[in-house]
Amino acid sequence: MKFTKLTALAVTTALVAPAAFAQEMTIVSWGGAYTKSQKNAYHDPYSEKTGVTIINDDSSAEAVAKLRAMNEAGNVTWDVVDVVAADAIRLCDEGLAMEIDPDTMLAPAPDGTSAADDFGDLLVSDCFIPQIVYSTTFGYRTDLVGDTAPTSVCAVFDTDAYPGKRSLEKRPINNMEWALICDGVAKDDVYDVLATPEGQDKALAKLDTIKDDVIWWSAGADTPQLLADGEVIMGSTYNGRLFSVIEEQKQPVAMLWDAQVFDLDGWIIPAGLSDERKKQALDYIFFATDTQRLADQAKWISYGPARASSAPLVGQHADLGIDMAPHMPTDPNNAQNTFLYNYEFWADYRDDIDAKFQAWLAK
Amino acid sequence: MTDNTSDGPMLAADGTPLKKSLARALRLQKMRALMLIAPLLLFVLFSFIIPIFSMLSRSVENSIVVETLPLTVTELQAWNADSGELPDEPVYAAFVADMVVAIDAKRHTRLGTRLNYEQTGMSSLFRKSGRKIKRMDPEADAPFKEKLIDVDKKWGDVETWRVIKTHSPTITNGYFLNAVDMRRTPEGAQSQPEDKQILVKLFGRTLIMSLIITGSCILLGYPVAWILANLPMRTANVLMILVLLPFWTSLLVRTSAWKVMLQQQGVINEVLVWLGMVADDSRLVMINNQTGTIIAMTHILLPFMILPMYSVMQTIQPTYLRAAKSMGATNWTAFWRVYFPLSIPGIGAGSILVFILAIGYYITPEIVGGTKGVFISNRIAYHISSSLNWGLAAALGTILLVVVLILYWAYDKIVGIDNVKLG
């Protein structure tokens, strides 16, 4: 008898428990310093305001595959997911992310500008709410480059002037563009050239000239480690990682902003959430992507806010007390020669060029 | 004994034939045994076997084209892909009718992604055309041929329609062909252009490097296991902790530690330079290549080799060796003719474990493998998590599974699976 009562009690608790914890949401992001900056700028203020408990899940790197698996299993456990724009486009194409109407679902700027205008061209997909602008760019060891510090991205391909290893990402995106530019292709023609097999061969031939001097990375933390150990003389990575090497760890490393490639990172809401959870997710997004909140994030990490109206509000680093504006990839001094990741092009050519790139790597 | 029992079946006490009664008793016993293992059996079935087969079935499954464009696929059957001429108006009309439905359900971009694996540009073709076709009416706006070509000139390209037709069957060999560097075309299977061939090479590399890793695990593990088996129990147990220690450390930490050890500014190179054995400008390259992968994976998989060897060696009586020596064998002969053959089941078990773990390894080659030290599993991971080409990933996985089964079969034929012991 006692046993039955206990069982009944356990069953009731199990049934009641989810209702009691409805004020909980799972937000997926990249982990590390990035999640910390989001926690400080978005999660904590939001929890304080609404009483919702936020659970962090550091799964953004596998978000696309996991969302597809969850969707097929009919059990989506994530409420809001942080992904790069290219992944957001893929998720939107696959029907795994919800479409967003910026004007009704996102906060307007303080001066009344609509969200659609405030984000402008950065709304690259119907499902994507941009959060930050980051860039993939180069850092170099100031003590290893000799008297003339590199000023152009083509220094990467100049092993005579800058002997030593370089680190590049183990994928074609960005590397192919840099190779073509340094092979004399005009910036405006890069994607026209890269769309042709001859152009792809040209880019690979240029990369071939430094193939023996390259260490290929696949995790964002690789280049900072290689630079700090003096294993490479220069290397590409995300600008926020370099900021941390230079300003927080005080390593003899400097930024080479030339031909940096802008990319976007932001939120998507998974498709197939219940109405209640969808409402909750939209409420969070409305709060977390308003002008002030986006500007706040830059206090903890050196990525530029995606709203035009947030830029003037960027202040100082919360711990280091230095001005963050000059460390933003979007700062006019840093943004003299930039690329914007060509989402349309890479959505089409990624599979094809990646196969060629990997075959070239394995040669 | 009565006449009845001598020519009829033997009866049990309750009058039923003994055979039947025995079978019933046995069946009951079997059922009871089955009930006992049922939880595990069901668990394995639902969490392991069914998911594996559903994943592997993706390697041939291709219903997306027919489901998204049912009318178009029917119309395209009448069209000759080799004619070099564009399909006629009915195909275009059917396509618009299909697309209007698909756009409503947001399925057209998914099809674009699927076809983009076969033909570059399909992804944006479907996405962009979708926005414009959305506004068309399948009845009122006909004819569509000109209009679609206006929307995007690729609809006026025979190749686009050939791709759709080629990949319309619900069961396809396309993924398997892709997995062995070939592709499906209207003219049958053809090999990929040379600059895209990589997967067969990776399969070969995975097998060869896994064999090398297994070999180096045997070489390094055998003496360790021998020492452990021949030391007094107390000392052996302490040393055993050293063997097991790596098990309790995160795989990522161990792999990253090798990076610190092996890189050009790393511990080993620094020591060699300091000793003057290597010049400062010609430091050894031991990582981001095959050497790095072999060293790191040998270290990580070594316990899987030592443990089965150790447990087999423990059962070998030291008296056998003494007996051999007493009959005049040298140390070497005693070892090679007596001890070693007895220890082979341990080597066999360890080798199978290490080899099978090695060919599926992914994270270590990714971190320390550079370009020459990556495995086929790295491509599988790429297709699962980045390109979302799960069909190709499933085909690669199936091939890997079949290769392992063939090797297992070959092992059974050559060495004999009865010769494998875990203790």
Residue A329 lies in a domain: no
Amino acid at B43: F
B142 — pLDDT class (breaks 50, 70, 90): confident
C-alpha torsion A202→A208→A209→A211, nearest 10 = 150
Residue of higher predicted confidence among A14 and B158: B158
Cα–Cα distance measured from residue B276 to residue B28, given in angstroms and rounded to the nearest whole number: 77
Q: Residues with Cβ < 8 Å from B224, sequence gap 6 or more?
A: B243, B306
A235 and A271 inside one domain: no
Q: Residue B196: list chain A partners with CB under 8 A.
A: 352, 355-356, 359
User: Would you state the pLDDT for residue B162?
Assistant: 93
- Give the pLDDT confidence of B96-113 residue by residue, as tens digits: 999 999 999 889 999 999
Q: How confident is the model at residue B380 (pLDDT cuts 50, 70, 90)?
A: very high
Q: Are A233 and A343 part of one and the same domain?
A: yes
pLDDT digit string (tens) for B258-288? Answer: 988 999 999 999 999 999 999 988 899 999 9
In this structure, are A46 and A72 located in the same domain? yes
pLDDT at B391: 95
Number of domains in chain A: 2
Residues of A with CB under 8 A from a CB of B: 61-62, 64-65, 68, 90, 92-95, 165, 170, 201, 215-216, 218-219, 225, 229-231, 344, 347-352, 354-356, 358-362
pLDDT of residue B375: 94
- The answer to whether B107 contacts A90, with C-beta atoms less than 8 Å apart, is no
Q: What's the mean pLDDT in B406-419?
A: 83
Query: If 0-12 CB within 10 Å is exposed, 13-18 middle and 19+ buried, where does residue B42 land?
Result: exposed
- Distance of residue A25 Cα from the nearest chain B Cα, in angstroms: 24
pTM: 0.88
Residues A200 and A347 in one domain: yes
Nearest Cα neighbor of A173 from A321, A356, A331 is A356
Of A64, A95, A344, the CB nearest to B110: A95
> Do residues A69 and B92 make contact, with C-beta atoms less than 8 angstroms apart?
no
pLDDT digits (tens, 9 = 90+) for B42-88: 999 999 899 888 888 999 999 999 999 999 999 999 998 888 899 99
Gap between the Cα atoms of A265 and A89, Å rounded: 12
How does pLDDT run across B219-234, given as a tens digit for each residue? 999 999 999 999 998 9
Helix, strand, coil content of chain B in percent (nearest 5): 70, 5, 25
Instruction: Judge if A51 and A167 occupy the same domain.
Output: no
Q: Is residue A328 part of a domain?
A: no
Which contiguous run of DSSP H or E holds residue B188? Answer: strand B188-191
Percentage of chain B beyond pLDDT 90 is: 67
Burial class (CB in 10 A: 0-12, 13-18, 19+), B188: exposed
Residue B390 scores a pLDDT above 80:
yes
Please tell me whether residues A341 and A284 are part of one structural domain.
no
Q: What pLDDT score was predicted for residue B186?
A: 87
**Domain limits, CATH 1.10.3720.10, in chain B:** 199-419
Residue B293 pLDDT exceeds 80: yes
Judging contacts by C-beta atoms under 8 Å, the chain A residues touching residue B122 are: 348
Asked if A349's CB is within 8 angstroms of B120's CB, the reply is: yes
pLDDT at A48: 94
Q: How many helices (H) and strands (E) does chain B have?
A: 22, 2
The DSSP secondary-structure symbol of B153 reads G
Please, which pLDDT band fits residue B16 given cuts at 50, 70 and 90? confident
pLDDT at A221: 86
Residues β-bridged to residue A140: A234, A254
- In degrees and rounded to multiples of 5, residue A49 shows phi and psi of -75, -40
Q: Which CATH architecture has domain B199-419?
A: Orthogonal Bundle (1.10)
Domain membership of residue A327 (yes or no) is no
Q: What is the pLDDT of residue A2?
A: 47
Neighbour-count burial for B264-293, b at 16+ CB within 10 Å, e otherwise: bebebbeeebeeeebeeeebebbbbbbbbb
Residue B5 pLDDT > 50: no
What are the residues whose beta carbons fall under 8 Å from the beta carbon of A214, sequence distance 6 or more? A165, A166, A167, A168, A207
- pLDDT beneath 70, residues of chain A: 1-22
The per-residue pLDDT for A181 is 95
Q: Is the pLDDT of residue B3 over 60?
A: no
Looking at the structure, do residues A107 and A154 belong to the same domain, yes or no?
no
Q: Are residues A248 and A341 in the same domain?
A: yes
A126 and A48 together in one domain: yes
Nearest CB to B196; choose among A62, A231, A355: A355
Residue of B374, B386, B388 with shortest CB distance to A94: B388
Q: Can you give the residue range of the structural domain that contains A339?
A: 135-262+335-362
- Mean pLDDT value of segment B385-398: 93
- CA–CA dist B197, B190 (Å, integer): 12
Two structure tokens written together for A348: 């089409």
Three-state SS at A83: strand
B151 to chain A, closest Cα gap in Å: 17
Buried-state track A283-304, b at ≥16 Cβ within 10 A, e below 16? ebbeebbbbebbbbbbbbbbbb
A interface test, pick of B57, B108, B120 with most A CB neighbours within 10 Å: B120
Encode pLDDT of B307-321 as tens digits. 999 999 999 998 999
- CATH number of the domain encompassing residue A154: 3.40.190.10
